Structure 1
Amino acid sequence: MAGSKSSIVFLLVLNLLSVSLFLCASFSPDRPTDRRILVLLDDLSLKSSHSLFFSSLQSRGYDVDFKLADDPTIAVKRYGQYLYDGLIIFSPSIDRFGGSLDVEGVLDFVDSGHDLILAADSNASDLIRNIAAECGVDFDEGPTCVVIDHSSYAVSETEGDHTLIAADNFIQSDVILGAKTIEAPVLFKGIGHSLNPENSLVLKVLSGSASAYSANPYTKLSSPPSLVGTAISLARNNARIMISGSLNMFSNRLFRSGVQKVGNLNKYVKSGNEEFVTELSKWIFHERGHLKSVNIKHNKVGETEEPQSYRINDDLEFSVEIFEWSGTSWVPYVANDVQVQFYMMSPYVLKTLSTDQKGKYHTSFKVPDVYGVFQFKVEYQRLGYTSLSLSKQIPVRPFRHNEYERFIVTAFPYYGASFSMMAGFFIFSFIYLYHK
């Protein structure tokens, strides 16, 4: 098992919010945060057993609508308009959604720029597995398989099979998990899942240790487990999506439970579950890490109006304003790694933009000595932040016939040769005609 190249991930994040310019426009410029959330439950008793998580959403201003997953009145879209901004599926065993919702409906909901939290367990149905698979996450197919870790389990008087994991392998990102460090380990009990390594949108938020593996805790292993180590994923977010292999991770019992990791003398009165899930949900629902761009401008140096075209070797200025949503308002986004490309087939100019610390990014450069149709392109991707993909097209023309200099210094030898030839021809003609 130590030689296996696969690993276990407890929690994954998929930043489907690779938001390009058109996707940014799908959010309100005044408030990008999702406010209407539909929660689908296997059993209405989950409203009370997971009430702390739901209360944290409601206290932050979310309108949470609870429905049974098989409710025949379920609809997320009506007359072409979405009724909700976010979807939480806490129904791991459901075989078929009620109403008009199905796998395609959930994927269309995500593709339209809305967000999803999906929690499963060892009883995950084919429906839940198919939704996760479409998002690039594969749950362990083994029957009754759960994540086991004999060296990173939580000390417990009732859990003797080492399936209650004390996980502390968090992603290092203040944008996703907040600036405050989560001190206590997160308690996890559930199913593991793996990710497609070629999917660049997937982020592991919480991963298993090198000794974790996925198997049936009540049977003897006859062959190496299919999922081992840090490849086991416990949850993931993508557009933004969070996929968790544990519904219990959101429960009041684990929120309030104390935790002590085996082999560690530190005993925490309260697990890190509540802080971890709350901070992660802020990122998922765009309370953090959401960027927008406005006022993309370009003009010739010394002018203010945007021209219809540039001439080769013109000096131009480019600027764009970028703001970040703080949870209550838009604030200037400050970074030193925003770049612009002046692009035609390939970038002819690549410049890092300077910032005035107030959200405005700007630079100036000379138009290359090549004419054609160019684009100003800003492709900005940073861990945890909305990706910006901005482009603006502009033609570049050569000099017109009346825009060249009348006399070019480098052509003086040719000018001299022409005039000397004319003078010689005149002298030759005069001598030939008038001299015997």
Structure 2
Amino acid sequence: MVVITYNNHNNNMSLVFRIIVLLGIAIPFLAILCHSFSPENPTDRRVLVLVDDLAIKSSHSLYFKSLENRGFQLDFKLAGDPKIALHRYGQYLYDALILFSPSIERFGGSINTAAIMDFVDAGHDLILVADESASDLIREVATECGVDFDEDPGAVVIDHINYAVSTTDGDRSLIAADDFIKSSIILGSNTIEAPVLFQGIGQMVNPSNDLVLKVLSASPSAYSANPKSKLSNPPAIYGSAISLVSVVQARNNARILISGSLKMFSNQFFRYGVQKAGSPTKHDKSGNEQFLTEISKWVFHERGHLKAVNVRHHRVGEVDEPSMYRINDDLEYSVEIFEWTGANWEPYVADDVQVQFYMMSPYVLKNLSTDLKGVHHTSFKVPDVYGVFQFKIEYQRLGYSSLSLSKQIPVRPFRHNEYERFITAAFPYYGASFSMMAGFLLFTIFYLYNK
């Protein structure tokens, strides 16, 4: 009896041990599942901030605090730290990258220009900030993004008309810029009343590049030059062609912000009062904080981010999606489009979304109507051409992430038993055939029985 009791006790202990082990495995696995199936949130949360000097963390704390207040987790590293990395074991460690290290000659760890561009190609966002001390490495990254900084060493943007009144007499490199892009999606719906203080290097945007936008431009009286040297030749870039702040939206919807001034992100410029030369109005606070906060919301997909769900198509009067259509069928097409507002998904309302019924070229191009609840729909007749077609939506609108939807469907001709027995258009041919038969019958009778 003692032996049996001892074995049962061991069996019970073994069973308890197995349950504990299974729970230890199951609980983390369930946690992973819950995280995997959590509601989609396009806002990037993990951000790597590379700086030349950790003092920037305090001198630019207002900007960083605005990001942290919106839920971003900022990881500050020295740009030359040999331990920094963007990915490990095939997985990216961060969702966005901020480069506040304009003078860095070489990044530490495994980060280089190619690694940064691969990071963007993977759909992650980037903020690149330079100044007059911009290194060749920073210039190379900017060039890869479609923007070229002024190559003249020590060159800054100078404006003798639209400068900011300051205590430093004769300083024309401190600019009061207010030539903003006209887009409420990028800069928000609230108008930026005060000019933005800018002091730094100018950049050129290739006008043929549709992916790059100037969000803050210099005035027509501005030019880029080294203030410490005599201007012997005409400046390389001047006027409104100078971009002070540019943005890029890649084809994979990754977003990039490129600024030629590190000081414009500083606490000093955030708190400065600003008065534009020649203007009687003096603002107690510059527009830097509002401008950079609003544009960072766009860069990090807190605004202007679209998603499409529930793409449906079926014959008129039916509900189920068919495996193929027949020529001349009447069909209905619909898609639900939503916009992320920073907190939740709201129905996207627009009247310029189009669908193509496409085979080599569009056979049907229709504007989608909206029910103001996110559903965009239309109906049309399948063309009298059979083959393999596609429902295609290629939607691109300034400030919004692009939508590219495609769904393939074959279209067949009529079967032999599906044609109409008598076609109205063929009545003349029917009449000709029957009249020919009647005439032949009359001719035969006349020939046989007439002497």
Q: Quick check: TM above 0.5?
A: yes
Report the CA distance between 1:426 and its aligned residue.
Answer: 3.8
Bigger share in helix: 2
- Paired-residue identity, %: 73
Give the Å deviation of 1:351: 1.2
Letter matched to residue 141 of structure 2: I
Counterpart-to-counterpart distance in 1, 2:54 and 2:43: 26
Q: Give 1:194's aligned residue.
A: 204
- Write the distance in 1 (CA, Å) between the matches of 2:39 and 2:374: 15
CA distance in 1, matches of 2:47, 2:336: 31
Pairwise CA distance, 1:173: 1.0
Q: Is 2:383 the counterpart of 1:368? A: yes
For the residues of structure 2 that align with 1:275 and 1:402, how far apart are their CA atoms?
Answer: 69
Q: Secondary structure at the match of 1:234?
A: strand
Residue deviations 1:32-62, cap 9 Å, x none?
0100000000000000000101000001100
For residue 10 of structure 1, what is the aligned residue in structure 2? none
Shift of 1:432: 4.8
Name 1:154's counterpart in structure 2: 164
Shift of 1:414: 1.8
- Distance in 2 of aligned mates of 1:86 and 1:128: 17
Correspondence for 2:323: 308
Q: Within 1, Cα distance between the matches of 2:154 and 2:106?
A: 21
Aligned to 1:327: 342
Displacement of 1:370: 2.0
Counterpart check, 1:254 vs 2:269: yes
- What SS does the aligned partner of 1:31 have? coil
Contact in 2 for aligned 1:161/1:217 (Cα 8 Å): no
The corresponding residue for 2:309 is 294
Partner of 2:332: 317
Q: Distance in 1 between matches of 2:129 and 2:152?
A: 18
Q: Distance in 1 between matches of 2:131 and 2:416?
A: 74
> Mind listing any 5+ residue stretches in structure 2 that lack a counterpart?
1-36, 249-253
Tell me the equivalent position of 2:175. 165
Q: Where does residue 438 of structure 2 map in the other structure?
A: 423
Give the deviation of 1:226 after TM superposition.
0.3
Measure how far apart 1:379 and its partner are: 1.4
Measured against aligned partners, the alpha-carbon deviations of 1:314-360 in whole angstroms (never above 9, x if no partner) come to: 11111000000010111101111111111222222211111000000
Cα drift, residue 420 of structure 1: 3.0
Residue 275 of structure 2 is aligned to residue 265 of structure 1: no
In structure 2, what is the equivalent of residue 8 of structure 1?
none
Q: How does 1:343-362 map to 2 (within 5 A)?
A: 343-362=358-377
| Greater Rg by CA | 2
Q: Secondary structure at the match of 2:243?
A: coil
The equivalent residue for 1:43 is 53
Q: 128-137 vs 402-411, which deviates more?
A: 402-411
The structure with higher relative contact order (CA 8 Å, sep 6+) is 1
How far did residue 431 of structure 1 move?
5.2
Q: Equivalent of 1:279, from 294, 309, 313?
A: 294
What does residue 14 of structure 1 align with?
A: none
Kindly provide the CA deviation profile for residues 106-163 of structure 1, in whole angstroms up to 9, marking residues without a partner as x.
0011111100000001110111000000011000000110000000100001262200
Q: Say if 1:176 and 1:280, in contact at 8 Å, map to a contact too.
A: yes
Given candidates 151, 154, 157, the residue that maps to 1:141 is 151
Partner of 1:402: 417
Q: Which runs of 5+ in 1 are unaligned?
A: 1-26
CA contact (8 A) 1:117 1:237 kept: no
| Cα distance between partner residues in 1 of 2:432 and 2:276 | 92
Of 325-334 and 408-417, deviating more is 408-417
Q: For 1:23-62, what aligned pairs fall within 5 Å after superposition?
A: 30-62=40-72
Counterpart check, 1:100 vs 2:115: no
Q: Which residue is equivalent to 2:73?
A: 63
Residues 11-37 of structure 1 show CA distances to partners (whole Å, capped at 9, x for unaligned) of xxxxxxxxxxxxxxxx98620010000
Specify the alignment match of 2:427 in structure 1.
412
Q: CA deviation at 1:434?
A: 6.0
